[in-house]
């Protein structure tokens, strides 16, 4: 942000993603409900490089993804939230 002030730009308002957590959380749940997102347990090493295989959790039932997302947000496990287009 220092660079923006240095070149003479002054933003109207500085915000952080954490300021909007409740809204982002609801949007994430809605994407899962619409089957546009899922909870993935793949490790970072498995996602590197070209020709990454499709996640085996992509076709997980919606209710199961919602339940795992709730568990994750309660801090019990760490999962990767994936959004995909159909």
Total domains, the chain? 1
Tokens of 42: 């793949």
In a domain, residue 25? The reply is yes
Which tops the pLDDT comparison, 11 or 36?
36
In a domain, residue 7? The reply is no
Mean pLDDT across 64-81: 74
Specify the pairing of strand 80-83 against strand 37-40.
antiparallel
Tokens of 66: 């919602």
What domain range is 73 assigned to? 19-83
Q: What is the pLDDT of residues 22-44, one digit of tens each?
A: 888 899 999 999 999 998 888 88
In a domain, residue 27? The reply is yes
Question: CA 27, 33, 37, 43 torsion: positive or negative?
Answer: positive
CB 52 within 8 A of CB 84: no
pTM attached to this predicted model? 0.65
CATH number at residue 25: 3.90.800.10
In a domain, residue 37? The reply is yes
């Amino acid at each position: 942000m220092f660079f923006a002030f240095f070149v003479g730009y002054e933003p109207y308002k500085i915000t952080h993603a954490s300021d909007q957590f409740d809204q982002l959380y609801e949007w994430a749940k809605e994407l899962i409900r619409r089957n546009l997102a899922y909870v993935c347990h793949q490790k970072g090493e498995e996602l590197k490089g070209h020709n990454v295989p499709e996640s085996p959790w992509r076709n997980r039932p919606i209710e199961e993804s919602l339940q795992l997302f709730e568990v994750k947000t309660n801090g019990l496990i760490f999962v990767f939230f994936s959004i995909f287009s159909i």
